[in-house]
Amino acid sequence: MLLPGSFIDAIRRVRPAEQCTSLLIYHRDGSERVVLRPNTPVVIGRAPPSQVRIQDTSLSREHARFTASGGVITVEDLQSTNGTWVGGARVERAEIRSGDSVMLGSVLVSIRVLTPEESASDVLLSHERFRVILEEEVRRAHYFGRSFAVLMVRPARGAGAHVSRFVARVRALLRPVDRVALYSPDTLAILLTEARPDVATALARAITAPSGDEEIPMLAGVATFPDTASDPEKLLELSWSAARGATLDNAVRSAPAGTWTLGEDAGLPDKGGEPVAVSPEMRHILQMVARVSRSPIPVLLLGETGTGKEVLARAIHERGARQGRPMVCVNCGAIPQQLVESTLFGHERGSFTGASQQQRGVFEVADGGTVFLDEVAELPLPAQAALLRVLETRRITRVGSSREIEVDVRIIAATHRDVEALCASGGFRLDLLYRLNAMTLTIPPLRARPEEIEPLALRFLHQANRANGRSIRGIEPGALELLRAYAWPGNARELRNAIERAVVIAEGEWIVEQDLPERVRAGRPLQVAAAQRTEPDDEPTPAAPEAAAPETAAPDAAAQDGTDDLKMRLQRYESQILVEALRAAGWNQREAARALNIPLRTLVHKLKVLGIKKLGYAPTAPR
């Protein structure tokens, strides 16, 4: 079993002596690298007999042939429907050189003459793979109490630059551990592991800093864990929203951070709109919202992450007598344990190290209005006791003071946890639960109300059109059917992100099946997709993935509930190491084995045992 340090060192030792011609193929699901060997033509198309198969409707079955012979690289159109384009002109046959770009329909092929390591650095993760890695990073950072950041990087409006034109510039500023994915043809998504907010912002400023007259002006959006959000879908949503709002005068924009925000600055979706209620369950919940909003009693909202608890909390606030007063949203899971009481109740100057001035807390800021305690079950027990006192006395005391301050606030709390089970185990105070759940509303997951998928998707489409300057007319029936069939483990927030990205990457007037995420097209969440086992080949011939499956065996059900044993966890970690080595070597098994300092036969055996293959890669035809 390889250790992390040895793995990183091994990857850095990959230094093939010879350069080779590579085709970097950028499609909507990521990018691929194909080595163009002398006198060995490579055909790119949508289906067999093309060696490189990209599931993109703009490609013909056999679209174009690339050949390197006698030091000359040529591209030949194979009577494709949408044509082969070089330098803005449609061609039947053309000579091309390193640095040129060829458009095959909407698929861009960049010609590069580099070492395999250099060209592999331009290969981008698919958006699906990035989501899985982001989910893993959220779990890891939550467990170890670490921070990280998600960046969205794009060219300024009007620059019209494909990511292939600036990915190398961005990569040069990143660490080997940072992950880069294709969000859209002109936008990169970046995961900065172990990065504090100030470090992430500084890096974003370096990426967007002008460095020459011909440089593409860049913009960036930053969202940090846990300050901005603690949910993968929300991190993606807020980082993209921040990037979209960046300008040349303010090239780096950070999503609202901190442990609490005022309602109007909280980045909440559907602001000012009615929650969608088509199912009987949601209609009943909205009826209860209408009733409870007229009362000052506390409300407890229960439901999975992404079901819209924040949206309902705002609806309760805006329909009640406190409508014109502040609504303060608190991310209880993001408050450092030693600062919980200071955040909620404020502090006096000098009350602790770093308290350089008096600070009002959440309850003072919200006086006369509403406090929304999101993920209230994450509060430590001492903070729960202090919160209980406030609910009972309606008075707070700042840290470092003995003076009580009377406050008038309405409490709305929310959690995705089983609070009664937490009470039984001692993790949550039963008396506090009794105070918070004067009225409890349980929001069903989206999969339990499929009739609301279409109206939600259409609402998100109209919002995305306005936000991104698009005019997508609607969603084709086949794509709608896929949306209805998918389980949506991330609920409405996951649906919102899927629709927004589809609006951004759509090439026609309607969202079609190919605009949807791979996991939706596959009809199942990516995390639970079954791994396919195959006999690995020494040098596979690339073809883009036809279905949405992960590059390694996905965690099974035991892994999801945390009951997997050490052996299974080690196997998953080993799989990740092997896949990283293969990607760095352009999926050349000999180069990967050399980088890992293991015999080729050992690598081949491990790939077989662990069920790892490059999905969409077919064995090389016999020669």
**Domain check: are 436 and 314 in the same one?**
yes
The answer to whether residues 286 and 171 belong to one domain is no
Q: Is residue 559 one of the residues assigned to a domain? A: no
Are residues 434 and 368 part of one domain? yes
% helix / strand / coil in the chain, to the nearest 5?
Answer: 40, 20, 40
* Chain position carrying tokens 């039963």: 430
Looking at the DSSP bridge assignments, the partners of residue 342 are none
Residue 593 lies in a domain: yes
Which of 366-370, 543-547, 569-573, 585-589 comes out lowest in average pLDDT? 543-547
Give 48-97 pLDDT, tens digit per residue.
999 999 988 899 999 999 999 988 999 999 999 999 999 989 999 999 99
CA–CA gap between residue 327 and residue 372 (Å, rounded): 7
- Write down which residue in 68, 90, 114 finishes a domain: 114
Amino acid at 450: P
pLDDT digits (tens, 9 = 90+) for 433-478: 999 999 999 999 999 999 999 999 999 999 999 999 999 999 999 9
Residue 592, in any domain of the structure:
yes
Query: Do 431 and 475 have their domain in common?
Result: no
Same domain as 494, residue 417: no
What CATH number is given to the structural domain containing 33? 2.60.200.20
**CA–CA gap between residue 100 and residue 74 (Å, rounded):** 11
pLDDT level of residue 333 (50, 70, 90 thresholds)? confident
Q: Which of 113-117, 353-357, 367-371, 614-618 has the highest mean pLDDT?
A: 367-371
Question: Can you give the pLDDT at residue 145?
Answer: 81
Residues 244 and 316 in one domain: no
Cα 253 to Cα 221: distance, rounded to the nearest angstrom = 5
140, 24: one domain: no
Tell me: do 140 and 199 sit in the same domain. yes
Question: For the chain, how many structural domains are there in total?
Answer: 5
Residue that terminates a domain, selected from 463, 493, 522: 522
7 domain-assigned? no
- CA 91 – CA 100 distance, rounded (Å): 14
For position 397, which CATH number holds?
3.40.50.300
User: Which CATH number does the domain housing residue 249 bear?
Assistant: 3.30.70.270
* Residue 547 domain-assigned (yes or no): no
Q: Which has more confidence, 195 or 573?
A: 195
Domain ranges, residue 430: 280-349+358-442
Q: Is there a contact between 189 and 236 (Cβ–Cβ < 8 Å)?
A: yes
241-291 pLDDT, tens digit each: 999 999 999 999 999 866 666 654 433 444 446 788 899 999 999 999 999
- Whether 425 and 287 share a structural domain: yes
Buried/exposed code over 369-384 (b: 16+ C-beta within 10 A; e: otherwise): bbbbbbbbbbbeeebb
Please indicate, yes or no, if residue 337 is contained in any of the structural domains: yes
From 393, 419, 442, the end of a domain falls on 442
Do both 292 and 386 map to the same domain? yes
